[in-house]
Structure 1
Amino acid sequence: MDRKRELSSIDLSALTTELQSFEGAKVDKAYLYDDSLVRLRMRDFDRGRVELLIEVGDPKRIHVADPANVSDAPGRPPHFAMMLRNRISGADFAGVEQYEFDRIVTLRFERPDGDTLVVAELFGDGNVAVCNAEHEILGCLETIRLSSRTVAPGARYEYPQSRFDPLDATKDQFMQQMDESDTDIVRTLATQLNLGGFWAEELCTRAGIEKTKSIEDADEAEYHDLFRVVDDLRETLSSGRFDPHVYYEDGDPIDATPVPLSEREGQECEQFDSFNMALDAYFAQLEEAGEETAAHEEPERPDFEGEIEKFERIVEQQQGAIESFEADANQERRKAELLYERYDLVDEVLTAVQHARSEDRSWDEIEERFEAGAERDIPAANAIEDVDGTDATVTLDLGELSVTVDTTINIEKNADQLYKEAKRIEEKREGALEAIEDTREQLEAVKQRRESWGTDDGPNVQKESDETESIDWLSRSSIPIRRDEQWYERFRWFHTSDGFLVIGGRNADQNEELVKKYMERGDLFFHAQAHGAPVTILKATGPSEAARDVDIPEQSREEAAQFAVSYSSVWKDGHYSGDVYMAEPDQVSKTPESGEFIEKGSFVIRGERTYYNDTAVGISVGITCEPQTRVIGGPPSAIESRAVTKIDLEPGRYAQNDIAKRLYRQFGDRFEDQSFLRKVASPDQIQECCPTGGSRIVE
């Protein structure tokens, strides 16, 4: 039994016709539930209180609801709800329209200081965008960046590409669309005419036409009958003369429609006075049925085998990383030793390059001279594998290994750099050894839980574990301190929603250090288009993993971009958005073009960049209680899932130290354990997470 979980284009056509009767209602307040349900509370002169619900998750719906079916207002409103309130509180509902035959509804609100459009996308992942009268996006539930369209704050809202509209087509257009098909009638109506599977079958039944008949076998009379029932449906939807029904199967609601269905003739149903009422009753019963089903379901056995396989795979990867680190460290050390073993040859090459550069010879000339020397079989020239003027390096074949040397320094310093690199890799190996032990412990814990589940008290053990995960930390009188200092904590940092580490420089020295020491293959480099912006690196792998190419999700990239712009001068200047670009590590260089100068902490980016234009600033400061106790800061979407409580910031008038004190006081009102708060989130510690410049709390 498939229950309706989203509205069709025909449903929305009927719904927009009915919603026109609510024009003139005045908006009181806007709410947001669970990042997918928008509630607009309005007042109508004739009807009184009007509750308009827009849900774009699962299910996807829009309709006026009985106040009795509306949940209590959620707690502290998120930024989107506050923005929406600021735009439409006190405004008049001025109209609604469906975009062509798509599942997109645009609501218009009028106020003396300007009109506001609320665009609900009830397809795909769903979205709600709030725009001004010029269709500039002021805020949206989900940021979307596709090759065909962008939905992001600051961008202009663009509707998707137009589709064929069967309710707006002439008879000739209808027949031409049918003729161009190469399948059967029902599939043609469903896909070519965009009616969807159910309504395609419904219209065939109404027209008395065999659904599976091939288009090649259909005649003009059948086309005429099909167009007639489509035309009848069009007239019904535009006139508003509906006969709404909710259909049931075995006592459970399965569909709500604006008109009776031939496909469901004889089926249990209930009639309603309006389509809005039918939808409200249907989705209220659907939610109630879902809750009852969940309450009676037996606890589902966790996928222990999947977890075990995952941890075993991680152990295997970590073991490989350890072996790789060990081999790489030995190789770097061996390179340093080779520089000394072939001292005369290396010194001859370095001296030749340094002498040529002192005479202002170009790198191309130097390379040509080495090639000429190799033709004369000069040993030093024969050893040259590559000359790179961009980084002022030369790669030498020293027999056992190839070694790249910096031609601006002597052999001793080159060897010292190689020894330091070997030491750095060994430190990563030590980190990997610790990490693999943690993973083995987690693997053993899963195996033990699997064995426990097999006993009579297995489900109870699982239940106790679940209860532990939902501890009310705010009301606990004593919270244990758990701290494990990490190497990246002296930088700005956060973990994305997908678990990737993002680190940013606090000053020019740290910018230099991040690029030279911590940026590796597979990472992504972000930088705001603003002076004094921090270097931001999205790490593809952890400190205990070998560098490799990883498919980093788009949400993590967007969060890194928001982090980069929020801690830049864009925030300090009081702006709410800015442009950010992304580059690969091999595009980032410290070598300027001829005649140019690069200041400390800055870099040259060569090649094409990926831009995140009009990226909204936004920082949340939160407190975590497990697995570690600390204050964290970063993009709101990343902090939400990690903190037991958080406070959102936006550019404002309070200096960095003042806003930190305000945050501390607000956190103090939330935590029962004040001594815990002083230890992990003092004003000084909170200040470390706040952007430079003025800020204010998003109420």
Structure 2
Amino acid sequence: MALDGLVIAGMVQELNACILGGRINKIAQPEADELMLTIKSDRRQQYRLLISAGASLPLIYFTEQNKTAPLTAPNFCMLLRKHIGGGKFTRIWQPGMERIINFEIEHLNELGDICHKTLVVEIMGKHSNIIFCSEEGMIIDSIKHISSQVSSVREVLPGRTYFIPETQEKLNPLDYESRDFIAAISSKPMPLAKSIYSSMTGISPLIAEEICHRASLDSGRSANSFSETELIHLEHQFDLVVDTVKSGQLTPNIVYEEQVPVDFSVVPLTQYGDFREEKFDTVSGMLEHFYATRNVITRIRQRSSDLRRVVQTALDRNRKKYDLQQKQLKDTEKREKFRVYGELINTYGYNLEEGAKKLTCLNYYENKEITIPLDETMTAQENAQHYFEKYNKLKRTYEASVKLIEETRSEIEHLESISTALDIARSEEDLVQIKEELIEYGYIRRHYTGKKVKITSKPFHYISSDGYHMYVGKNNFQNEELTFKVAAGNDWWFHAKGCPGSHVIVKTNGEELPDRTFEEAARLAAYYSKNRGAEKAEIDYIERKFVKKVAGARPGFVIYHTNYSMLVPTDITDIKEAAK
């Protein structure tokens, strides 16, 4: 998940195709370590190029989204406007396979003479920078100043000579000898994948793993333990990957685990097996989509963290309470013994001697002899009464415990269903409805603002392969609405068996559903449940008219009988989501 040398190579191809010969119309610095260049190409098309040297997320790509710039431009932005505002891109290149893009820009100086400057974009993780250099390679300024106190390798300050630091001896993948590759890889006593990316410029751990996978070699095995034949095969796979860069035949793509983007590259990532792959026409399109999707997921996780904490705290408290109540219930199991003791003392205690410590008699319930402990200070009748009192006390405790356990279990199930709803939330709008449910049931205190909370979240909507509409509730309120307001009596209802999950409704329009639609709806119910991480899950399904709401039950909690069941995979990557 990094802009490695291959992705940078693809981006350079795109930059040359789009803006080479174009002129800079506008320069903005929306963030302290970010530039937005507006460029008009020689074909009179306008492009916005976003460049970020952020330590956590360095990037470069074309975007249609504009960003608001501060009212007062930072010094670096003002310097660029002075020198290269209106300048023309005359050359764009990547040195070797480094994670660096050089922009040569032609402009007129104060005397009207043609000059050339270079804008260097270094995409190197926390060491990323944007450096503005003179034609002679002298640093004019940079978006980040790096002094000798910060880095002993290279100073990035005005007046210093610009150079690419060579902290490691690496081979250039675009220009190397076969014997050098094998010697470099095999000489390192480290895992094979690590040996590859530490020996070759611009190769990320992701691509190193991909090359090992294509060569069918164990990436975790020590590089110096492979035979020469295996290393020759490895080099062949490496060459095939590098050749795609040389030829420009790149395939920008993102791989997804379920709905979450995992990695991106400009070569197919075969190491992810059955993960869903989405291809893009441009590297910019790939990068913008990946980072936008990841940002949404990150933002949702951040916004939902407080809700998760509330739910988890309540769950922990109720689970502890449940365990104590179960222990208390277990302690009442001996209540029947005390009742029997009392009855037997009343039956056989008439001839007990005063001060007797026990009574041995026949237990006519089990037809065997039994010995009953007695309090020698009490009469037989008082001992019987004492056991009946203990029996009645435990009986009351039992009845109260059964009721409390049922209430606690219901609360745990409710909280687990909310936790599952948080897991499947895709947007901040989804969280609003979940928060409302937590407020309604007293887990969160409502802060009155005078405004009614606007609910915009809607259920998921899918279309089956046979054209039937399938709806999936994102939370308990939506489950309730889908089942009892949206669904007709002859529509089909699906739910994961014995665990929290979404209600899935299939609209039949009075028709008999094909088997394939039943299977797809069941897979949706499996995926949007607590069992989504399992390979398969058991799903109950029944006509909606047989699903009943329990009086006083929490939203989304229902009962049903005489249902059907099926075991289905939890994968839904091939099920089509309806257009919004």
Q: TM-score, structure 2 length as denominator?
A: 0.49
Q: TM-score, structure 1 length as denominator?
A: 0.41
